[in-house]
Amino acid sequence: MLREYYILYKPKTFLFEGQIKGNPYDARSLQVILKQAIAKVKIKKPVTLHWLRHSFATHLLESGTDLRYIQELLGHNSSKKTEIYTHVSTKSIQQIKSPFDDL
């Protein structure tokens, strides 16, 4: 489906562009699309675009992606903004092997 979409719409800058080629989707349009998708699959829990963005960043961090890459992907100017994801991710901390374990 994605290949068909790409061939049909030929996006220039963003994979999913807004009504004007080369421009991203408007935030309000994305919210409407998300709301429709949630209703379609009958999810009862509240879901927001911010929550999805936060989950995406947390999963990247937990899978070992360097914080600097996550910063770039999220478009953060400051690493301080990206560092908020380090306190919510405990999975990686639990997997750290102590150098004393080998003694």
Work out the burial of residue 89: count CB atoms within 10 Å of its CB; fewer than 13 is exposed, 13-18 middle, 19 or more buried: middle
Would you list the DSSP string of 2-62? Answer: HHHHHHHH--SSSSSB-SSTTSBPPHHHHHHHHHHHHHHTT--S---HHHHHHHHHHHHHH
Query: Mean pLDDT over residues 55-79, rounded?
Result: 90
Measured in whole angstroms, how far is the alpha carbon of residue 72 from the centre of its chain? 12
In this predicted structure, what is the pLDDT of residue 88?
Answer: 60
| 85 C-beta neighbours (distance < 10 Å), count | 20
Q: Specify whether the CB–CB gap between 25 and 32 falls below 8 A.
A: no
In this predicted structure, what is the pLDDT of residue 91?
Answer: 61
In this predicted structure, what is the pLDDT of residue 25?
Answer: 86
Query: Mean pLDDT over residues 51-55, rounded?
Result: 90
Cα–Cα distance for residue pair 46/63, rounded to 1 Å:
25
pTM: 0.64
Does 7 score more than 90 pLDDT? yes
